[in-house]
A = this chain, B = another copy of it.
Amino acid sequence: MAALPNASHSITLRLHLEVADLGAVGRVTTAIGEHGGAVVAVEAVETSGDRQMVDVTANGRDDEHTTRLQEAVDALEGVHLDRVSDRTFELHREGKLAVTPTVPLRTRDDLSMAYTPGVARVCRTIADHPDQARALTIKGNTVAIVSDGSAVLGLGGIGPVAALPVMEGKAALFKRFAGIDAWPVCIEATTVDDIVRVVEAIAPTYGGINLEDISAPRCFEVERRLKESLDIPVFHDDQHGTAIVVLAALLNALRLVDKPIGEVTVAMSGAGAAGVAVAQLLLHEGVHDIVVADSRGILGPGRDGLEGGKAWLAEEANPSGRDGTLKDALVGADVFIGVSAPGLLEPEDLATMAEDAVVFPLANPDPEVDPIGAGRYAAVVATGRSDYPNQINNVLAFPGVFRGALDAGARGITREMEVAAAHALAEVISPEELSPTAIIPGAFDERVAPAVAEAVRAVAAADAAR
């Protein structure tokens, strides 16, 4: 599957051209197109004497490809390449977040209210009534995005500093989609004990903890212990954010193929953080038969020495005790969900699935099976990519989940809240909109976060009233 030129590999070429050479811009954009690049912008910057400066922005497929585009332009007659800037790097320069005061600081009176001596009265009130912190500080609207940088995107254990651009981006999404003030907490901590202790220590400032890109199996234990010790919501997005969106997409897909969720059989590839959470949520929702394979095959009675989440999947999710390979798991399955690695399957491998199969190969950026090819064997296909229909994107869940939990002052995020979030997300798609290429809303659908938030808030309120 050849990648298409995309904005994540985009360069801006600053060119010097002769003013009289009216064909120069045409030669440049033609050369880019001939070399497989996509021209996305041309802008005349300034003219001085007989020379003009022009910025040409083009998308490529990868770093090597954008280098070739640049060389092709540089080789053109009458075109002087002054400099090349990478749009993604330009965007990230100096980071992607600002911390801004929301109070005026213009006069001495302002200072005396926002800071000393006036602030002392606010502090004393919180010391006497700690529950007032949510009303009188940032705590009520603030989420920590905690990562040790041990499992970042497809990059693995790149460490806390290198993970910072991801956590900044996530914080930006929290604000953009739910008005939440989120802050990156990239920590130098390796053991479960260390991570738990650091998160417990920094928790006072926050109304919620979003765990992010922490490797399995440590992530399970970290989350379990923090949920136990903290009185604010703790949510490992790689697990539960993914599970919520997958369940929402599955609910709508099964509506299309008219199969009740309690009767489908599911084959899964991947038993990491996302795999375990997806399986748990599906079981909770009434799916009975989920066969999960990791890189060594099906998690079943034939596998020795399984621990933690994998042992649990072998025992609880696989009721008929199946063994074998991922391909064995596919035979007769109604649903395939991949949260594992690129290119594990050929489209033809899906031919053994049940009629009207639902196929979600979610490995990103390269799915477990080519989604276009998969479409020949499946009634509905969804991926993690933004350039195909039905993108399973966590941004559909975490902003609304935390918005609802913060608004309700919830002390935790329960399985019931996750289920409610998934149903609310699925129901954003109206019966009229529902189709095989529209089982889940797009990332910018403004209906999503409020709907998810309201669902989570309602469950929290019911819990509190109980």
Binding site for B on A (CB under 8 A): 6-10, 63, 87-89, 91-103, 105-127, 130, 133, 135-142, 152-155, 158-166, 168-173, 175-176, 181-189, 194, 197-198, 200-205, 364-365, 386, 395, 443-444
Main secondary structure of the interface of A (DSSP, over half): helix
How long is the Cα–Cα vector from A98 to B101 in the complex, in angstroms? Answer: 6
Contact, CB under 8 Å: B99 / A99: yes
How long is the Cα–Cα vector from A137 to B95 in the complex, in angstroms? Answer: 4
How long is the Cα–Cα vector from A152 to B117 in the complex, in angstroms? Answer: 11
Contact, CB under 8 Å: B127 / A94: no
Contacts of A95 in B (CB 8 A): 102, 136-142
Contact, CB under 8 Å: A119 / B175: no
Contact, CB under 8 Å: B97 / A181: yes
Q: How many copies does the complex hold?
A: 2
How long is the Cα–Cα vector from A117 to B198 in the complex, in angstroms? Answer: 29
Contact, CB under 8 Å: B162 / A120: no
How long is the Cα–Cα vector from A112 to B105 in the complex, in angstroms? Answer: 37
Contact, CB under 8 Å: B135 / A173: no
Q: Tell whether A100 pairs with B102 under 8 Å between CB atoms, given A88-B118, A130-B161, A201-B187.
A: no
Q: How many whole Å from A152's CB to the nearest CB in chain B?
A: 6
Contacts of A116 in B (CB 8 A): 153, 166, 169, 364-365
Contact, CB under 8 Å: A161 / B175: no
Contact, CB under 8 Å: A164 / B112: no
Contact, CB under 8 Å: A100 / B103: no
Contacts of A106 in B (CB 8 A): 444
Contact, CB under 8 Å: B112 / A137: no
Contacts of A115 in B (CB 8 A): 166, 169-170, 172-173
Q: How many whole Å from A415's CB to the nearest CB in chain B?
A: 27
Contact, CB under 8 Å: A113 / B87: yes
Contacts of A111 in B (CB 8 A): 386, 395, 443
Contacts of A130 in B (CB 8 A): 161-162
Q: Tell whether A123 pairs with B166 under 8 Å between CB atoms, given A175-B99, A184-B138.
A: yes
Contact, CB under 8 Å: B126 / A161: yes
How long is the Cα–Cα vector from A126 to B176 in the complex, in angstroms? Answer: 25
Q: How many whole Å from A380's CB to the nearest CB in chain B?
A: 21
How long is the Cα–Cα vector from A117 to B366 in the complex, in angstroms? Answer: 11
How long is the Cα–Cα vector from A321 to B53 in the complex, in angstroms? Answer: 75
